Structure 1
Amino acid sequence: MTPLAVILTVLGYIAVLFVVAWLSGRRADNAGFFTGGRRTPWYLAAFAMIGAAMSGVTFISVPGSVAADAFSYMQMVAGFTVGQLVVAFLLVPTFYRLRVVSLYEYLDARFGVAAHRTGAWFFFLSKMLGAALKLYVVCAVMQLLVFDAYGVPLWANAALTMGLVWLYTQRGGVKALIWTDTLQSLCLVGSLALSVLFIMRGMGWSAADVVREVGASPYARVLFLDDPSSGRYFWKMFLAGIVLLVAMTGLDQDMMQRNLSCPTPRDAQKNIVLTALCQIFVILLFLVLGVLLYAYVERRGMALPARSDEVFPLVAVEGGLPVFVGVLFVVGLVSSTYSSAGASLTALTTSFTVDLLDGVKRYDERRLTCVRRRVHGALAAGLVGLILAFGYWADDSVINLVFRMASYTYGPILGMFLFGLATPWRVRDRWMPLVAVAAPLLSAAVQWFARERWGYQIGFELLIYNAAFTIAGMFLLLKRHEK
């Protein structure tokens, strides 16, 4: 697949995306930007959430990860499913009852301004880093496929990508995202399914052959119950999946903006349950694709790339398959990227404007629109800078790096919400920033000590330790004789 073919594919997709974004967001006001006006049908939100949950990192990293981790990711997916139920039946009724625009307004009502700002700042840090890391992966692939051939540097690549994301989200916000995410979900799932089909045909396999070969592959092992010290141990990944889902979806402004755009809590709950079921099958298909990719590389005698994240691009673009496979890869990659990046930028804008600037209370509608657009543009520029920083630093499988960062940055948010929902007590709010900073530092110290002293590897369940330290710190801040 030539660089010109990649460019034409990307431009074609972006043209369709901009038309959908313009049609759906042309009459959006601030309420439409922040919450979609709470008029989104639940089934539309559920389909949109597939694209929202599956970023470009998922599209590239999950298939490539099977060589090192087999199907162990499904253990975490089982935890994700339980976590979705927690979000649907515990958090959603609370957020609808309070009619929040930003999730972190709950912390203000429950504890005070300092807790509210602390939760918002930790979300801001988490989402900026996570969004930039996911965008970096896609920019790196596009650099390899297109921009290097024309001598275009990474900074121009990143600026162009974020400029397009800024353009299609700057007016419509959540109202536009629901419809653009629906388009992106359709492209993502279609690209995934057709890629599997073409690779099957490239090896001369039938559906029965795929089931047999995948089942017999050492990469298809799902359960890891033999070594509790391993990062892939079932109970560690299952429990980590529950808390990661609750933290990264239920307490994430980005993901919950779509759920809270439904008219009623009942609609939001139906949307979340359907999303959970779809997520199981889509991720399983990604892992099956990973087995097929490695089998194809072996059969063709191709050299494996240095990084697992490059296996899918290698096979799709240079593997001798029909050009249409490369087109599917690019469409799937671009669709998942713009879905994730657009949603992240919208959520960051919402949280910064509502939580950190207190914009809804301070400004009238006209002034709020002006402030929101300035914040939106400034955050887009900030993401470009972070993408370039990751270009010099990221060297791990990115799906692992995303979850590892989330274990540190979402822990204080999870701890604060758990304490607020499970206890009637109030705390001395002004000390909450200190607790929130101390918890990740203590978690990192425990992780290092367990590895050095006992050889015990704390994996994604680090988030549990982090939240526990936050809760313990809040108990130290209890207001005596007051509930």
Structure 2
Amino acid sequence: MSATTVFLVIFLYFLFLMFISYLTSEKGENQSNAFFTANRSSKWYLVAYGMVGATLSGVTFISVPGMVAKSGWSYLQFMMGNMVGYALIAYLLIPLFYSKKLISIYQYLKSRFGIVSYKTGSFFFLVSQTIGAAFRLYLAAMVLQIAFFDAFNIPFAVSVLITILLIWLYTFKGGIKTIVWTDTLQTTFLILAAVWTIYTIASSLGMNPASMLSTVAESEMSNVFVWDWKAGNFFWKQFLAGVFITISMNGLDQNIMQKNLTCKSVGEAQKNVLWFALAFFFATVVFLVLGVLLYEYTSYHGIQVPERSDELYPLLALNHFGLFTAVVFLLGITAAAFSSADSALTALTTAFCIDFLGMDEKEQDNNRKRKMVHLGFSFVLFLVIVGFRVLNDDTVVSSVFKAAGYTYGPLLGLFVYGIYSKRQVKDRFVVYLCLLSPVLSYIINLYSKELFAGYQFGFEILLVNALITIIGLRVLTLKNNTVNK
């Protein structure tokens, strides 16, 4: 694909996003209200559909198809847990957050424990979301760099700056109200890219729908269940991790919950979560089917599989499937990059403005301050992504991303203890507990083989992290002091 074609695709895509931003941005005095909550008037089905693309992100778009050769379809075990996790979010967290009319979900911690717990919870979100969003955008930016920017000798730092500037331009005014609509567009391109690639491969291999499904079903790469309890992808480890990671990284994540809270009622928000969960599950199945077919294609045509599985889909899409499929793939990876970064940028701005600056959605003099915060976090994302590039070690970058995930353990512990216990705690010590918990969890994970007869933790280390936080909160409990929730 020529660099000119790539430029035209990205340019037209961005113009479309700007047009959506213009249509959805608040023109009057309620810009902050629209930015933070979309005036709580979003249609639940639009939110549900758009969240599929934002949740898939570039990591899923590139990584899930490539990983089937190593781990098969065992990822579905995790997704089964996700379904349970989303049901708990719908019927436990959604009613709680709506009843308190929250803008930032971490405001709950202030009413439950105190100001230190509140700031600590929001700070942990800001750290994890910044690193997580930067990591996802970094992967997508690498593909765009190879496909376009290298042809013009544009440095990686400049290409990232341009990408983030484009995102800032269509989100700085409309915020979450714009995101709800742009996510809908971006989900469409993500799914379209996967479905069209499947069609392209099937046609190339002479498969009809029945034979394609038969090939996928009979492949050794389509095995779902793993029952070896020592394996990192053992069923119950994956399933339980899916439940609690969903609760932590979706239900207790401002990025995701801010979209849910734009629905006009609890009932509509619950429908949004449940239908989104179902759509997300089937979208993941589509990418797993794609993964099997990608390897079938390389085997049939004698194409050497790259050492890094993340490179498989981009390699084939850009070089072997023809121009139209390459364009569709480029739209998909661009949508993945933008959908994960734009909502993260909006959520980071919201959390900082509400939790640390004490802004109120109804105050009319907040627009300038909010825009400055939005610009500031855009620059922070830029610095983190460039920092990943300077490291120039994918293993280190991936480790930083995984380390950021440890911050969700204390959040899970704080919310679980807050919801199921009526006891008040020594609020001023909570920050130290939340810093200690991830460190202890990391050490336990590092020496798990020696400590637990060869057992290796996977995603479920999050539960250990949360449990340490809960035990610590119990230790910090004030005597004879309860709170009415």
For residues 434-459 of structure 1, what are the alpha-carbon distances to aligned partners after superposition, in whole Å with 9 as ceiling and x for unaligned? 01011101101111121345332111
Counterpart check, 1:239 vs 2:237: no
Q: 1:75 and 1:402 mapped to 2: Cα distance?
A: 25
Q: 1:240 and 1:133 mapped to 2: Cα distance?
A: 21
* Secondary structure, counterpart of 2:479 in structure 1: coil
* Secondary structure, counterpart of 2:262 in structure 1: coil
Aligned residue in 1 for 2:276 = 275
Aligned residue in 1 for 2:182 = 180
How far did 1:364 drift? 4.1
Runs of 4+ in structure 1 off by over 4 angstroms are 400-403
The farther-off stretch of 95-104 and 332-341 is 332-341
Q: 1:338 and 1:297 mapped to 2: Cα distance?
A: 29
Could you tell me whether the CA contact under 8 Å between 1:65 and 1:397 is conserved in 2?
Answer: no
Aligned residue in 2 for 1:439 = 437
Counterpart check, 1:63 vs 2:65: yes
Q: 2:396 and 2:322 mapped to 1: Cα distance?
A: 28
Q: 1:402 and 1:92 mapped to 2: Cα distance?
A: 31
Please tell me the residue identity of whatever aligns with 1:204. G
Aligned residue in 2 for 1:202 = 204
Could you tell me whether the CA contact under 8 Å between 1:244 and 1:407 is conserved in 2?
Answer: no
Please tell me the residue identity of whatever aligns with 1:172. G
How far did 1:68 drift? 1.6
Please tell me the residue identity of whatever aligns with 2:468. F
How far did 1:26 drift? 4.1
Aligned residue in 1 for 2:384 = 386
What are the ranges of 5 or more consecutive residues in structure 1 without an aligned counterpart?
A: none
TM-score using structure 2 length = 0.96
Could you tell me whether the CA contact under 8 Å between 1:426 and 1:479 is conserved in 2?
Answer: yes
Q: 1:137 and 1:248 mapped to 2: Cα distance?
A: 20
Select which of 406, 417, 420 maps to 2:418: 420
Counterpart check, 1:142 vs 2:144: yes
Aligned residue in 2 for 1:329 = 329
How far did 1:402 drift? 8.4
* Secondary structure, counterpart of 2:424 in structure 1: coil
How far did 1:403 drift? 7.4
Aligned residue in 2 for 1:457 = 456
What are the ranges of 5 or more consecutive residues in structure 2 without an aligned counterpart?
A: none
How far did 1:191 drift? 1.8
Matches within 5 A, 1:63-462: 63-225=65-227, 227-319=228-320, 321-360=321-360, 364-366=363-365, 368-391=366-389, 392-396=391-395, 404-405=402-403, 407-453=405-451, 454-462=453-461
Could you tell me whether the CA contact under 8 Å between 2:21 and 2:171 is conserved in 1?
Answer: yes
Root mean square deviation, CA, Å: 1.6
How far did 1:187 drift? 1.5
Q: 1:49 and 1:38 mapped to 2: Cα distance?
A: 16
* Secondary structure, counterpart of 1:254 in structure 2: helix
Counterpart check, 1:46 vs 2:45: no
**Identity score, percent:** 39
Could you tell me whether the CA contact under 8 Å between 1:309 and 1:397 is conserved in 2?
Answer: no
Please tell me the residue identity of whatever aligns with 1:441. V
Change (3 A) 1:330 1:106: same
How far did 1:306 drift? 2.5
Could you tell me whether the CA contact under 8 Å between 2:135 and 2:401 is conserved in 1?
Answer: no
Could you tell me whether the CA contact under 8 Å between 1:404 and 1:460 is conserved in 2?
Answer: no
How far did 1:248 drift? 0.9
Please tell me the residue identity of whatever aligns with 1:110. R
How far did 1:214 drift? 1.0
Aligned residues: 478
Aligned residue in 2 for 1:19 = 19
How far did 1:396 drift? 4.5
Change (3 A) 1:132 1:245: same
Could you tell me whether the CA contact under 8 Å between 2:51 and 2:276 is conserved in 1?
Answer: yes
Q: 2:405 and 2:318 mapped to 1: Cα distance?
A: 34
The farther-off stretch of 256-265 and 3-12 is 3-12
* Secondary structure, counterpart of 1:54 in structure 2: helix
* Secondary structure, counterpart of 1:479 in structure 2: strand
